Amino acid sequence: MSDTAPLFDRVAIIGIGLIGSSLARAIAEYGIAREVVCADRSKDACVVAMELGIVEMATTEVEVALDGADLVVLATPVGSFAEVGERIGPLLAPGTIVTDVGSVKEAVLRDVGPNLPDGVHLVPGHPVAGTEHSGPAAGFASLFQGRWCILTPPSGADAAAVEKVTELWRRVGSNVEIMDAAHHDRVLAITSHLPHLIAYTIVGTASDLEDDTKSEVIKFSAGGFRDFTRIAASDPVMWRDVFLNNREAVLEILQRFTEDLTALQRAIRWGEGQQLQDQFTKTRAIRRGIIDAKQA
Q: Which residues contact residue 39 at a Cβ distance below 8 angstroms, ignoring those fewer than 6 apart?
A: 12, 13, 14, 15, 46, 58, 59, 60, 61, 62, 64, 65, 66
**Calpha distance 6→93 (Å, rounded):** 20
Q: What dihedral angle (degrees, nearest 10) is formed by the CA atoms of 174, 232, 51, 169?
A: 10
Cα R_g (the chain), whole angstroms: 21
One digit per residue, the tens of pLDDT, for the chain of length 296 reads 557 799 999 999 999 999 999 999 999 999 999 999 999 999 999 999 999 999 999 999 999 999 999 999 999 999 999 999 999 999 999 999 999 999 999 999 999 999 999 999 999 999 999 888 889 999 999 999 999 999 999 999 999 999 999 999 999 999 999 999 999 999 999 999 999 999 889 888 887 776 767 677 777 766 677 777 888 888 899 999 999 999 999 999 999 999 999 999 999 999 999 999 999 898 888 777 766 766 65
Q: Angle, nearest 10°, between helix axes 247-269 and 236-245?
A: 100
71-74 and 8-14 as β-strands: parallel, antiparallel, unpaired? parallel
Q: Return the exposure string of 190-225: e unless at least 16 CB atoms fall within 10 Å of the residue's CB, then b.
A: bebbbebbbbbebbeebeeeeeeeeeeeeeeeeeeb
Q: In CATH, what is the architecture of 8-180?
A: 3-Layer(aba) Sandwich (3.40)
Using DSSP, state whether 13 is helix, strand or coil: strand
pLDDT tens-place string over residues 91-124: 999 999 999 999 999 999 999 999 999 999 999 9
148-151 and 125-127 as β-strands: parallel, antiparallel, unpaired? antiparallel
pTM of the shown model: 0.89
Q: In CATH, what is the architecture of 183-292?
A: Orthogonal Bundle (1.10)
CB of 128 closer than 8 Å to CB of 104: no
CATH 1.10.3660.10 segments of the chain: 183-292
pLDDT tens-place string over residues 69-97: 999 999 999 999 999 999 999 999 999 99
